[in-house]
Amino acid sequence: MPHPVEPTAAPVVRDDAVPPGSWNEVFAEPADVEVRVEVAAHWITTRRGLIDFKDPVTKRSGLEARPQLISLLVGVIRHPEHGDYLIDSGIDRSLAEGDSEAIRGVLDRVLETLMPVEDIASMRRRLDLDLQGVFLTHTHFDHVLGLPDIPREVPVYVGEREVDRKGLLNALQRRGHERVYRGRPPLAGLRTADGIPLAPFDHAIDLFGDRSVWALPVPGHTAGSMVYLVNARSGPVLFLGDTSHTRWGWDHGVGPGLFSEDREQNARALDTLRMFVAAHPEIDVVVGHEFD
């Protein structure tokens, strides 16, 4: 069975929060939050998954469909009042230590090319994180592998419409799926209806009620996919998740290929995000699986 998702409110709801009229208004007053990107692992996978080779832009470019080295990324948000949060979950210690049973249990061949850099327990210690929650961009296997190292009382958020499709669950062998979620309560499903309209988005969820961190529902790659925007003092940072795995995809406006559940819907989301960043060039964009 797929792991359940239960609709839940944002981590902090403030009744006195005044909705902003525009993103300009939001960015004019950055929050006192820190944000960083960490690399949990490297992984070689197929470019046909990462890039839509049916897109005419890809065809014209002459891009080759060959294996590509990517990274599993973890975003770290440090909020002065509400503690520390992760964006996606990296990998757990047993994978980092090359526990062959863990790897067999998770994905067999798919993970043969996984090269661990740092597990999430080590990252928590190194950065001395006061971990209060995890915001998943979506639940594809390469975003949930660190969950066994996240205490079960720490809430794990994702879009409320996220479900594991049958085909995905076949790819991610049942035993591995159970291992990743063992003992964990339902995922906390951020409710689209809790978002406010903030052009070009119909629903922008203010996660702490203070305009510091936003969840933007972008169904397409998966039904419950989210991108996260951190309105940091050092400048706004947008975590795209797998709306675009690669920098090439983002630069050329081409979404993922085989890995997306609904390519057309994801392409629309990607267009909206590119329009948003074109209007606010101060935004630093972190694509799903590349970091330099």
Chain residues that interact with Zn ion, rule: CB under 5 A? 142, 242
Q: Which is nearer to Zn ion, 194 or 242 (CB)?
A: 242
Q: Which of residues 10 and 74 has its CB atom nearest to Zn ion in the complex? A: 74
Q: Residue 27 or residue 53: which is nearer to Zn ion going by CB? A: 53
Supply the minimum distance, in Å, between the C-beta of residue 141 and Zn ion: 8
- Kindly report the number of other CB atoms within 10 A of residue 273's CB atom: 23
| 84 and 95 Cβ atoms separated by less than 8 Å | no
Residues in CB range of 71: below 8 A, 6 or more apart:
39, 40, 41, 42, 43, 117, 289, 290, 291
Q: Quick one: 171 exposed, middle or buried, by C-beta within 10 A (0-12, 13-18, 19+)?
A: middle
**Please, what is the minimum distance in Å from the beta carbon of residue 119 to Zn ion?**
17
The whole-angstrom separation of Cα 75 and Cα 95 is 19
Nearer to Zn ion, 72 or 188 (CB): 72
For the bound state, the minimum distance from the C-beta of residue 260 to Zn ion, rounded and expressed in Å, comes to 11
Least distance CB 188 / Zn ion (angstroms): 20
Q: Which residues pair with 8 in a beta bridge?
A: 190
Upstream peptide bond of 200 is cis (omega within 30 degrees of 0):
yes
Smallest gap from Cβ 216 to Zn ion, in A, equals 17
Residue closer to Zn ion, measured from CB, 176 or 195: 176
C-beta of 52 vs 210, nearer to Zn ion: 52
- Minimum CB separation of residue 148 from Zn ion in Å reads 18
Least distance in angstroms from the C-beta of 157 to Zn ion: 17
Say how far apart CA 164 and CA 168 lie, in whole Å: 6
Dihedral, 216, 220, 221, 222 alpha carbons, nearest 10? 80
Nearer to Zn ion, 145 or 207 (CB): 145
Half-sphere exposure for 290 (CA within 13 Å, toward CB): 16
Residue 42 DSSP one-character state: E
